[in-house]
Structure 1
Amino acid sequence: MEGLGRVVANGNGGTFARNSPTQVSLLVLMLWTGGGEQPPIACAQLTGSRRVKITITQKEAAVSIQAWWRGTLVRRTLLHAALRAWIIQRWWKQKLVTLLEKRQRANLDSYVRKEWAAVRLQSWVRMWRFRLRYCRLLHAVRIIQLYWRWHICHNRGFIQGHYDVKGNQMNLELEFSLGSQACRMQQCIPLPIKE
């Protein structure tokens, strides 16, 4: 591989880099032109605005093509390995995303349950406190109503009385009090009792 080829340019002294795509395509063209030991093959190709002439033997061309082909196979193998690695990495990243989503959903569900329990507990405590306050107010209202009714009865008036049953008669005694006036009534009512 030392003397891959001699490059002659039109007085510019330009050379190709080793194993460049242009050189490989020229080598492939030279290999197809004949077989066996022959004198060096010359090929010319236009590159940009200058014409380049390359002289190389068939054995060197075959070795170059074989090296290029082996390199292509290695690159293809590496490409397949890289694609497989990329597929595995993508699958693993999707798995990680799925696991992260599950973990976040579980954390969110736990947070929602805790918040709901806290809100429910606060609601019960507030309800209990309001009920206790309501019961106290209701008791105070009943006491105020009782004293107010007693006050109204004493200021406006009241009725008081008692009765006795003797034989077939009922003695009724009522006393009415309306503010400053008082009235007493007694009455004897016969009871219709059949003997």
Structure 2
Amino acid sequence: MRVRFCTKGNLILVIIEDVEESIEWKTLQKKKQQKIKEKLRIRTKAAVKIQAWWRGTLVRRTLLHAALRAWIIQCWWRMTLSRVLEKKRQAALIAYATRERAVIKLQSLVRMWRVRWRYCQVLNAIYIIQGHWQCHNCQTCALLQGHCVVTATHLQFHIEIINS
């Protein structure tokens, strides 16, 4: 049963409905609501799937960008390390070459000093022999013939006295 009032409030309309009809109407309304709920559930499920797909796409894109950035950083770091290593190698090579050059120069100076020292010894010996020979030359007629051999480690001097 329903009661309706007119807009001005003067007329009252009382409607008496059939119980079966109202039950049918209620069941029909429930079915409509269930269909609406089912459609809403299906749409919600579809929307959730679409949202999940989109979130997955965004996450994959973000991970791809992060992986690419990490790869770029790794490449840069490897290049930086190789440059540093190359500079260290170059510095070690320069230091080695400098030390080798210094050692060679020092060895050369020592060899030169030793040969010069031997040469000075032989020269002094020659001066002594010449001094004695000049005194002795007046008394005999002989010639001096000398031969000198210089090697890296030795200085040989050979003197022959030839009587004529």
Distance 1:186 1:131 in 2: 53
1:105 aligns with 2:104: no
Q: Which amino acid aligns with 2:147?
A: L
Q: Which amino acid aligns with 1:185?
A: I
Distance 1:187 1:132 in 2: 56
- Gap runs ≥5 in structure 2: 4-17, 123-144, 151-155
| TM-score, normalised relative to structure 1 | 0.53
Q: Equivalent residue for 2:108?
A: 146
Distance 2:161 2:23 in 1: 152
Distance 1:2 1:103 in 2: 66
Equivalent runs, 1:148-163 vs 2, <5 Å: 148-155=110-117, 157=118
Deviation at 1:75, TM superposition (A): 0.2
Partner of 1:101, secondary structure, is: helix
Deviations 1:130-176 (A, max 9, x none): 21111111111011111122233345x4698xxxxxxxxxxx73247
Selected match of 2:55 from 81, 93, 112? 93
Structure 1 stretches of 4+ moved >4 Å? none
Distance 2:160 2:97 in 1: 46
Identity in percent: 12
Aligned CA-pair RMSD: 3.1
Greater share of strand: 1
| TM-score, normalised relative to structure 2 | 0.62
1:173 aligns with 2:135: no
Q: Equivalent residue for 1:53?
A: none
Equivalent runs, 1:29-178 vs 2, <5 Å: 57-155=19-117, 157=118, 173-175=146-148
CA separation of 1:183 and 1:112: change in aligned 2, threshold 3 A: closer
Deviation at 1:2, TM superposition (A): 5.5
CA separation of 1:145 and 1:80: change in aligned 2, threshold 3 A: same
Selected match of 2:159 from 185, 189, 192? 185
Deviation at 1:106, TM superposition (A): 0.8
CA separation of 1:106 and 1:187: change in aligned 2, threshold 3 A: farther
Structure with the bigger RCO (C-alpha within 8 Å, sep 6+) is 1
Q: Which amino acid aligns with 1:117?
A: M
Partner of 1:116, secondary structure, is: helix
CA separation of 1:86 and 1:183: change in aligned 2, threshold 3 A: closer
Q: Which amino acid aligns with 2:84?
A: Q
